[in-house]
Amino acid sequence: MTDDQDLAGLDPYELMATEASRLDQFFAGAGAADWSKPTRCEGWSVRDLLAHLAASEDYNRACLDGTVQQFLADVGAKGAVDLASANEIGIRELDDRTPEQILEAWRTRSAQNRAAFRARGGGDVDSSVGAYPARWQAFHLAFELATHADDVGVPVSAGEASARTEWQARFGRFAIKELKPELTIEANDGHTRVKGEGVDVELPDEQFVQAVAARLPADSGIDEGTAATLSATP
């Protein structure tokens, strides 16, 4: 099992709550013209990203209910052949709802699922790879929420930014170790170094977080092969 010392002292349920609240406030304050604005996710508007968050709660519920394989089968029956097409199906299924209706649905289901993950404590949940620690899954979800908050440009105060980057980088190091155990990951004074066959790179933690989330900008100076190695996002 992956060494999770990088996550020591962090509460993933509080991180999820903080990032969900950040997103909720942003979406609640959106005006009619904001919903069609582009996001950092290619092809997705702000409304699309909110719909994706709402649709993703179906998977989160399946993890809690132990029905992930049935969930995947159902999505496949709708025509999904990979994660991208599954995401698109989830978004399009909400096209008949207003942004306000989608926000209310996401707000309610997200709160319910977050409470259920917290209640699971040190136990397991279901996942696409079988039984998986609920606490680890909560970290993955917190990181996803933070990434999507950045995708739509949710503001982060100067007082929050440093601690937020720190926990994201700590999770990123754990995620890379979990996904790619052949790599060596070292933390050093706000930087992360990743070493392995064909890669030896040290990045400021802020850039490392972007790499883990597969959000490196085109002008990052990181070549495609290294970027792929550093990504822990499907």
Assigned domain for 231 exists:
yes
Verify that 137 and 166 share a domain, yes or no: no
Q: What is the CA radius of gyration of the chain?
A: 18
Assigned domain for 2 exists:
no
Domain that holds residue 137: 11-155
Verify that 113 and 197 share a domain, yes or no: no
- Identify the H or E element spanning 199: strand 199-204
Verify that 123 and 207 share a domain, yes or no: no
Judge whether 196 and 183 are in contact, CB under 8 Å.
Answer: yes
Verify that 174 and 220 share a domain, yes or no: yes
Spatial CB neighbours of 64, under 8 Å, sequence gap ≥ 6: 113, 116, 117, 120, 125, 126
Number of structural domains (the chain) is: 2
Assigned domain for 38 exists:
yes
Verify that 138 and 172 share a domain, yes or no: no
Q: CA of 82: how far to CAs of 27, 38, 88, in Å?
A: 28, 23, 10
Model pLDDT, residue 207: 98
Assigned domain for 3 exists:
no
Q: What is the pLDDT along the chain (234 residues), one digit of tens a residue?
A: 788 999 999 999 999 999 999 999 999 999 999 999 999 999 999 999 999 999 999 999 999 999 999 999 999 999 999 999 999 999 999 999 999 999 999 999 999 999 999 999 889 999 999 999 999 999 999 999 999 999 999 999 999 999 999 999 999 999 999 999 999 999 999 999 999 988 999 999 999 999 999 999 999 999 999 999 999 987
**Is this model's pTM higher than 0.85 or not?**
yes
Assigned domain for 6 exists:
no
Verify that 124 and 22 share a domain, yes or no: yes
Judge whether 230 and 222 are in contact, CB under 8 Å.
Answer: yes
Verify that 228 and 184 share a domain, yes or no: yes
What are 192's two structure tokens? 């992360």
Verify that 185 and 212 share a domain, yes or no: yes
What are 141's two structure tokens? 């979800």
Considering all CA atoms of the chain, what is the largest pairwise distance in Å, rounded to the nearest integer?
A: 49
Model pLDDT, residue 2: 85
Paired strand residues for 203: 192
Assigned domain for 167 exists:
yes
Judge whether 193 and 185 are in contact, CB under 8 Å.
Answer: yes
Q: Choose the final residue of a domain: 155, 190, 213.
A: 155
Q: Choose the final residue of a domain: 114, 130, 155.
A: 155
Q: CA of 105: how far to CAs of 98, 108, 208, in Å?
A: 11, 5, 33
- Identify the H or E element spanning 196: strand 191-196
Q: Choose the final residue of a domain: 106, 126, 155.
A: 155
What's the CATH code of the domain at 56? 1.20.120.450
Q: How many CB atoms neighbour CB 78 within 10 A?
A: 12
Verify that 16 and 128 share a domain, yes or no: yes
Assigned domain for 1 exists:
no
Spatial CB neighbours of 197, under 8 Å, sequence gap ≥ 6: 182
Assigned domain for 4 exists:
no
Verify that 164 and 108 share a domain, yes or no: no
Cα 190 versus chain centre, distance = 22
The DSSP line for 74-94 is HHHHTT--SHHHHHHHHHHTT
Verify that 87 and 164 share a domain, yes or no: no
Verify that 127 and 21 share a domain, yes or no: yes
